[in-house]
Amino acid sequence: MEQEKDDNLSAMCKPAAGEAGNTGDWRDATPVIDLTKCIASVKNRPACYLCWLYCPEGIVTAGVPIEIDLAYCKGCGICAEECPARAITMVMHEEGKP
Amino acid sequence: MPEKLFKVHKEEHILPGNRACSGCGLTLAYRFLLKALGENTILTLPASCLTVLHGLYPTTSVSIPALNCTFASTAASASGLVAGLAAMNRSDITVVAIAGDGGTFDIGIQALSGAAERGTDFIFVCYDNEGYMNTGTQRSSATPAGALTTTTPVLTKQQGKKDMMKIMEGHDIPYLASTSASFPLDIYEKFVKAKRIKGTRYIQIATPCPPGWAFSPRDTVKIGRLAVETGIVVLYEIEDGKFRFTGRSKTLAEKGTRAPVINFVERQGRFRKMSMEQLGRLQRSVNNKWSEYLRRAAE
Amino acid sequence: MSDVQILTGNQAAAYAVKLCKVQVISAYPITPSTPVTETISQWVERGELKAEYIRVESEHSVMTVCISASTVGARTFTSTSSHGLLYMHEQLHWAAGSRLPIVLACVNRGVGAPWSIFNDQQDSIAQRDTGWIQIYCRDNQEILDSLIQAYRIAEQVYCPVMVCYDGFILSHTMMPVAIPDADKVCRFLPPYKPHTILAPEDPRNINPVIFPWQRRDAEGVLRGGYMDLRWKLQHALEGARDVIVETNRDYAELFGRDCGGMLWTYRTADAEVLLTSMGSLATEATVAVDLLREQGIRAGLVGIRVYRPFPRAEVREAFAKVPAIVVFEKDISYGYEGALCSDIKASLYGTGNQAPIHNFIVGLGGRDVKAGELTEAVRSSLAAIASGEKEKQTWLNCMTE
């Protein structure tokens, strides 16, 4: 076993992303955004952003256009379900492929 | 709606790549309550789904200071934080205890009652996913009648849901609120308000659980919304004894329209063995609850 | 200088808490410890002691409050007995694993079922595996002195300390106790510097789930797994021995009273039989030693002061050449023998000392133990040893049929 010095007397953690690794690996479907339907892109200004609101992971950037951080997206599909313009589709991965 | 969204504190206190389930209702609720509370907060949490979200040593997924504690002790842990911070002249820091329904309604109830009775200056948050979900979906006193769990696997849970809000109301505390993960802005507003109040504040958040309730993760927000639309979950607050509906529940109260509870029940695998009798009792209990709330709101 | 008052053991404990300027006290009543926190609550409500006093609803919450208050940097205290201590058992483990310098006064009382309110040491002995330092007091003066020393030890090694004293026998009887000067105590006790960081300025998550294996953090530093952190606790407890001895020595220099470090001895120099015990029972045993000596038996006493960390080195030295050992204790590890007896035997393993060791279980549930009974017990042990009985367990003055 490696003998580096751990100065913690008890278990104290520091905040960092990726505690569970790249959780993008979890998903079996990936959100794909149709910018011709997304209200913020259509209006070319900040608008709607329900995907940003309802994403449990907080990995939707509310910009123009919106962006989803696919390294961490778990593929829950809430954004697709809640989008009022049906601009997001959960595309199933091919069997055996990430 | 967009303007309200943009006012909400932009920083994310839950970092991505955390260990919560895909589509977790708790994570969604937690995102917004942490935005409302801000950085001058110390959290304490027991063994629960939230412990897993917070992450395993030596990394944490939450950028607010947090103290883990044993399952039964959450409110006492908060009491000690309040006392210790007072001794250190840091009473400006908001102390927030956050536990699941198990750590609130069941094993945690004694410490919670004690802390509330002492008028401890803290916020106690219960995220209610209606079962012991961290250990794989065993029944709690928050599980509704008719639900299948691993400890009620054949006959379904026989007893109705314990009314924890009523129990907490019995403690003469300045603020109680009921909210839902599907209404993040309602959560945000309630926590902004609660932060400014002194004394014991109790906030219960309905948080749907895809694996525990047996529905697809993409439906988390929809299921939570249906709970409110059918009146099973009510968005309200009680401030110094005064009852007030908020948000969507306020609209439902004014319009007199509530969807039948079957709309909520039929979408979840955990209710597939629910009997007609149990369904009837659920509808009646919702009706009775609303009669009482409507009367109180009119006072 | 110091002020001598006639105090009960419980009052002596309360005075120590006041002198140490404890900041958070969390309390739940249980006989015979209740007067400790009743006394403290009088001082707090009259403004004589500036502290947060939390009247929690159970002992489990008592220790929880101490844990979180100590985590943010407050000096904390509580007192309890028997079932109160048992109720917080889970939290005792948690406090030790958290490496917090909490000090607890355990007023020793028997445990049910059935109910006993009277003294024995089963309650604290049953906590010996939790990772707490345990100190046993001979008299009311030692209660005050050991509690003050406990804060210095705890805050230096970052381990919680339990100071134990016998219920009713010490807690409720009155003895002269010298109360040291408050400023001197301040000088003896530096301020508590927590190792825990729980502050908005540097957000951490404290005591989460930990894997069995080591794991790198986000900065690439390799951090311990569960077992590595637990080794640190063991290592700290082993190292606490030196701190305990040094603290006692410094205290003796400053205040003129020596509690004995890890253990103390009485007339052991030429002993043909050594008695050993803890707490007020050990004090009683010194009278038995004198009686035996009058009867021509060269008896001596080894009084164990610190039970955890167990004084292995000191025990080996004290019992090195003695031909017979008699252990008196107010506890039993059911299904085996008295815990102190087992620990004495284990300490002597490998030293070559093959002396017979006899175990007397005495005074459970407050049954009275007289010096004369201890004397007779030693005489009967010596007779049994002479006829070849190397090991023996006797429940003194008890219906054993």
Mean pLDDT of C286-292: 98
Q: Which backbone phi and psi does C325 adopt, to 5 degrees?
A: -130, 135
> Which residue of chain B comes nearest to C210, CA vs CA?
B57
Contacts C197 to B, Cβ<8 Å:
65
Domain that holds residue C131: 3-193+246-250
Could you tell me which of C134, C184, C161, C262 has the C-alpha nearest to residue C20?
Answer: C184
Distance of residue A89 Cα from the nearest chain C Cα, in angstroms: 33
Range scoring the smallest mean pLDDT among B2-16, B158-172, C142-156, C305-319:
B2-16
Q: Which of A10, A15, A18 sits opposite C99 (nearest CB)?
A: A10
**Structure confidence by residue, pLDDT tens digits, B88-143:** 999 999 999 999 999 999 999 999 999 999 999 999 999 999 999 999 999 999 99
Torsion from C-alpha of C240, C245, C248, C253, nearest 10 degrees: -140
B40 vs C contacts (CB less than 8 Å): 200
Chain B nearest-CA residue for C26:
B80
Number of compact structural domains in chain C: 2
Q: Which CATH class is domain A23-92?
A: alpha beta
- Residue C223's identity, in one-letter code, is R
Q: Cβ distance B60 to B52 under 8 Å?
A: no
Is residue B148 domain-resident? yes
Q: Which one-letter DSSP state was computed for residue B144?
A: P
Q: Say how far apart CA C161 and CA C152 lie, in whole Å.
A: 10
Cα B72 to chain centroid, rounded: 17
Confidence of residue C400 (pLDDT cuts 50, 70, 90): confident
Percent of chain B with pLDDT over 90: 96
Asked if B94 is an interface residue toward chain C (Cβ–Cβ < 8 A), one would say no
Q: Is B126 helix (H, G, I), strand (E, B) or coil?
A: strand
Handedness of CA B68, B69, B70, B72 (dihedral sign): negative
| Chains in contact with C via at least 3 Cβ–Cβ pairs below 8 Å | A, B
Return the bridge partners of C264, or none: C303
Question: In this prediction, what percent of chain A has a pLDDT beyond 90?
Answer: 87
* Domain presence at residue B10: no
Whether the bond into A65 is cis, omega within 30 of 0: yes
Q: Can you say whether the dihedral through the CA atoms of B14, B20, B25, B26 is positive or negative?
A: negative
**Angstroms from A93 CA to nearest CA on chain B:** 16
Note whether C180 and C278 are same-domain residues: no
Number of domains in chain B: 1
Tokens 């209404």, residue located: B183
A12 to chain C nearest CA, in Å?
A: 4
Whether residues C58 and B111 touch (CB distance < 8 A) is answered with yes
B199 touching C (Cβ < 8 Å): no
For A52, the token pair is 């940003």
Question: Hey, what are C75's tokens?
Answer: 């000096």
Host domain of residue B102: 25-298
Q: Is the pTM of this model over 0.90?
A: yes
Mark whether C182 and C272 lie in a shared domain.
no
Q: Are residues C181 and C296 in the same domain?
A: no
CATH code at position C177: 3.40.50.970
B171/C contact by beta carbon, under 8 A: no
Mean predicted lDDT score pLDDT of chain C: 97
User: Residue A15's closest chain C neighbor by CA?
Assistant: C204
Whether A6 sits inside 8 A of C223 (CB atoms) is yes
CB B121 within 8 A of CB B84: no
Asked if the model's pLDDT at residue C300 lies above 70, the reply is yes
Same-domain check for residues C287 and C377: yes
- Scan residues 4-23 of A and list those with Cβ closer than 8 Å to C: 4, 6, 8-18
- Give strand ranges (E) for B134-186: 175-180
* Together in a domain, C332 and C183: no
A-chain residues near B62 (CB < 8 A): 15
Flag whether C199 is in a domain: no
Cα-flanking dihedrals φ and ψ of residue B23, to 5°?
80, 20
Within a domain: C258: no
Q: Which residues of B touch A74 (CB under 8 A)?
A: 21-23
pLDDT in tens, C87-144: 999 999 999 999 999 999 999 999 999 999 999 999 999 999 999 999 999 999 999 9
| Six token digits for residue B287 | 């009706």
DSSP type of residue B161: P
pLDDT at residue A7, as a whole number: 78
Q: How far is B70 from chain C (nearest CA, A)?
A: 8
- Judged by DSSP in three states, C362 sits in coil
State whether C188 and C292 are in the same domain. no
Distance from CA of B292 to the nearest CA of A (A): 32
Same domain, yes or no: C301 and C381: yes
Q: Residues near C388 by Cβ (< 8 Å), separated by ≥ 6?
A: none
Residue A96 is encoded by which pair of tokens?
A: 């055996």
Report yes or no on B160 lying in a domain.
yes
Residue-level pLDDT at A97? 73
- Residues B93, C209: C-beta atoms closer than 8 Å: no
| Contact in structure between B207 and B25 (CB atoms under 8 Å) | yes
Reduce the secondary structure of C206-241 to three states and give it as a string. Answer: ECCCCCCCCEECCCCCEECCHHHHHHHHHHHHHHHH
Contact (Cβ atoms closer than 8 angstroms) between residue B79 and residue B97 = no
Cβ partners under 8 Å of residue B120, min gap 6: B75, B78, B79, B82, B200
Check which CATH number belongs to the domain holding B156 and give it: 3.40.50.970
Residue B19 within a domain: no
Measured between CB atoms, does B18 come within 8 Å of chain A? yes
- Domain of C368, CATH number, reads 3.40.50.920
